[in-house]
Amino acid sequence: ADLLILDEWGYVPVDREGSQLLFRVVADSYESRSLVITTNLEFSKWGSVFTDDQMAAAMIDRLAHHGHLLVFEGKSYRMKHALMKQR
């Protein structure tokens, strides 16, 4: 695939083996395919999700080298349009 989309990155903690597999995906994609990653986690939290600060730093390094960081601020679209609202 020319484009790989990884949605909700870090939503669920990943065990060591899963972290190593995700690192391989990022490393194998580096400079060969486009990745889109969505997350609500800042980079400083990635080490706790992927069980290893060094592996997280290596992923961030590869992603940041040719990447673009888009930060969306403001209210959540889902919360704004939620059917269940507090009164």
- Residue 50: the pLDDT is 85
35 with 66: CB under 8 angstroms? no
DSSP 36-47: EE--S--GGGHH
Q: Distance (Å, rounded) from C-alpha 68 to C-alpha 80?
A: 27
Q: What is the pLDDT of residues 8-27, one digit of tens each?
A: 988 888 899 999 999 999 99
CATH of range 3-84; options 1.10.240.10, 3.40.50.300, 1.10.8.420, 3.40.50.10190: 3.40.50.300
| Annotated domain spans of the chain | 3-84
Q: Distance (Å, rounded) from C-alpha 63 to C-alpha 3?
A: 14
Interior/surface letters 38-77, b for 16+ CB within 10 angstroms, e for the rest: eeeeeeeebbebbbbeebbeebbebbeeeeeeeeeeeeee
- Residue 83: the pLDDT is 78
Q: What is the pLDDT of residues 36-75, one digit of tens each?
A: 999 989 999 999 888 889 999 999 999 999 999 999 888 8
Q: What is the pLDDT of residues 26-42, one digit of tens each?
A: 999 999 999 999 998 99
